[in-house]
Amino acid sequence: MSLFSKVKSPAAFLRALVKSPWRELAQRYACWTRVGTVAAALALVLATPFALRPRSRPARVPAANTLVILSPHNDTIRTEIARGFADHMMRTAGKPVRIDWRDVGGTTEISKFISSSFQSAFQLYWRRHLKKGWQGRLSNPGQSVLQKGIPDESPEDDTQEQQARRTFLASNVGIGIDLFFGGGSSDFIRHAAYGHLVDSGIFEREPSWFSEKVIPESFSGETLYDPGKRWVGSCLSSFGICYNTDWIKRLDHPPPQRWEDLGDPVYLNALALADPTKSGSTTKAFEMILQEQLSAAFAEVDRVGVVNVGSLESNALDKGWTAGLNLIQRISANARYFTDTAAKIPFDVAQGNAAAGMSIDFYGRAINEAVRKADGTSRVQFVIPVAGTSVGADPVAMLRGAPRPELAQDFIHFLLAPEGQRLWHYRAGVPGGPAQSALRRMPIRQDLYTPEELEKSADPELNPYVQSRDFQYHPEWTNPHFNVIRFIIQVMCMETHEELKQAWAALIRAGFPPHASRIFFDVKLVGYTNVTRELTPKLMTDDPLAIQKRRRDLRESFRKNYLLAIEFANRGE
């Protein structure tokens, strides 16, 4: 009322409008307007994902048709494989299936998770089901096999551990998960040895698949399926070098083509490396660096001519091994970091945080495509190092006590059949290929590398069975020392990384004076003779305290060497 009685001019009306009664009202309900404002703001933020949520709700699938898979595979792979498998089952068996992907982080977390889950599941089985007692701490029936030995033929004289182990291997103790899918074959080899993995029956169902023509048992020295039938590779992967073309241009240096190029001082503080202590496939890549140098040393011996076979061979082994370790030293000294996140390296290279790095093939190729410009050029290139790589299998396996063994076998069957294999390498949208994005991985079946198949591949020029054939992998040189390689890199490069980098920089500054270089590259303590005689056998049998002491002693002597090298380099000696 008061508002209208005072109207004399439009301006006055506006003034009055602003003045009363709204203001009064606003003040009276100030508290509620505040609540309203905050609630509206929060609702707005929450509404965005609500508005954008996927429209199609997944169909309800009974638990019996839900396959539980523990996997470190990325979301892209999971989505495509799950869709492919569901379509396949609907078409062939007429039943809806769903995959319940479980994830506990990376491969190491998954490994720990499997081991500890089996341990407690077995303890429960032992105490509740078998109603047996135990003296001391009930050990893990899986892992204890490596320490206490496999039970012998006669069950009568079993120790407590052997009895547990025998019981475990005969049991169907499970952890509620059907399959373990993805990761390096070394994890699968380990869990198979523990008894956590079992034969899924796929080898009996499709014996013709496991032949030289389709899936060979091994290729370029790498095992592609378990001779004990407990795991089988589903695709192949390899390590390569990815590099940033702008950075390489800036360095005024030819792009890296082989591992050796990465040891060049121009890459000081510019490399991104993967951490061999966290994954078997990374250790494999470092093993390849050694293999390449060993091959070179043997070629050198061959060139000089054979005088006394025995001594020459050990000579070549010593030389090649030392050259390989020195190369690993140089590459590590150039490194900014060692990471266990596979996707981090190509990404850092793409964003110009590193000049080059070690990368798993499909991550490298995916980033190359992701930053490709309209004119077809890309600032990230991925190369498979010349004569320095082998391919490894990325396996799938059924876990002991899988709740849905038939469905699990169906999944493995689908994955290894041409239909499932095509998902790995076909371009997105091609009939029979992935629906949304290409996975850029290499199928394990050789019969998928025919010209007709490769035509639809996202990487048509890629055929590991041809490209890696020439690479002669000599498992006898390095394979027995696989764990020792990891151990050496740890003490020689990772735990002493600060001193290593400083010494390397000092050497470069001083122009590699001879005395300092000799100290820096002195790896006699972990030379081939020492490794075969001392380290490899001792690391298998020593207790953790002794291993730790060895590790500390070696690390300290490397650290001392590096510090000494800095001192000499600074004096120019």
Among 13, 101, 449, 465, binds other proteins (CB under 8 A): 101
By beta-carbon proximity to other proteins, the closer residue of 122 and 209 is 122
Q: For 138-165, b where at least 16 C-beta lie within 10 A, e where not — what string?
A: bbbbbbbbeebeebeeeeeeeebbbebb
DSSP calls for 147-179: HH----S-STT--HHHHHHHHHHHS----S--E
By beta-carbon proximity to other proteins, the closer residue of 252 and 470 is 252
Kind of pairing, strands 392-399 and 231-237? antiparallel
Binding segment for other proteins among 159-167, 204-212, 234-242, 489-497 (CB under 8 A)?
489-497
- Token code pair at residue 233: 């590779």
For tokens 């061999």, name the residue.
276
Among 61, 96, 106, 312, binds other proteins (CB under 8 A): 106
- Among candidate residues 72, 63, 73, 74, the one with its CA nearest the CA of residue 99: 63
C-alpha span between 507 and 520 (Å, rounded)? 9
Q: How far is the CB of 436 from other proteins (least distance, A)?
A: 10
Binding mask 532-571 for other proteins (x = CB under 8 A): -----------xxx-xxx--x--xx--x------------
Among 89, 345, 439, 484, binds other proteins (CB under 8 A): 439
Amino acid code (one letter) for 527: G
Binding segment for other proteins among 13-21, 31-39, 293-301, 562-570 (CB under 8 A)?
31-39
Of residues 65-94, those binding other proteins (CB under 8 A)? 74-77
DSSP calls for 48-65: HHHHHS-SSPPPP--GGG
Q: How far is the CB of 260 from other proteins (least distance, A)?
A: 24
Of residues 192-251, those binding other proteins (CB under 8 A)? 246, 250
Binding mask 349-388 for other proteins (x = CB under 8 A): -xxxx--------xx--xx-xxx-------x---------
Q: How far is the CB of 104 from other proteins (least distance, A)?
A: 5
Q: How far is the CB of 15 from other proteins (least distance, A)?
A: 26
Can residue 50 be called a binding residue for other proteins (CB under 8 A)?
yes
Among 3, 14, 93, 124, binds other proteins (CB under 8 A): 124
Binding segment for other proteins among 33-41, 161-169, 515-523, 524-532 (CB under 8 A)?
33-41
Total residues at interface with other proteins (CB under 8 A): 86
Residues 6+ apart with CB under 8 A from 161: 139, 141, 144, 148
Q: How far is the CB of 329 from other proteins (least distance, A)?
A: 17
Binding mask 174-193 for other proteins (x = CB under 8 A): --x-----------------
DSSP calls for 356-368: EEEEEHHHHHHHH
Among 209, 219, 347, 520, binds other proteins (CB under 8 A): 347
Phi first, then psi, for residue 517 (nearest 5°) are -60, -40
Q: For 509-539, b where at least 16 C-beta lie within 10 A, e where not — what string?
A: ebeebeebbebbbbbebbbbebbbeebbeeb
Based on its alpha-carbon atoms, the radius of gyration of the chain, rounded to whole angstroms, reads: 30
Residues 6+ apart with CB under 8 A from 496: 555, 558, 559, 562
Cα torsion 37, 38, 41, 44: sign? negative
Among 193, 214, 343, 417, binds other proteins (CB under 8 A): 343
Q: How far is the CB of 48 from other proteins (least distance, A)?
A: 6
C-alpha span between 159 and 151 (Å, rounded)? 9
By beta-carbon proximity to other proteins, the closer residue of 108 and 463 is 108
Contact 404, 64 (CB under 8 A): yes
By beta-carbon proximity to other proteins, the closer residue of 176 and 572 is 176
Of residues 270-299, those binding other proteins (CB under 8 A)? 275, 277-280
C-alpha span between 484 and 569 (Å, rounded)? 30
By beta-carbon proximity to other proteins, the closer residue of 400 and 413 is 400
By beta-carbon proximity to other proteins, the closer residue of 122 and 298 is 122
Q: How far is the CB of 555 from other proteins (least distance, A)?
A: 7
Among 28, 95, 127, 474, binds other proteins (CB under 8 A): 127
By beta-carbon proximity to other proteins, the closer residue of 117 and 463 is 117
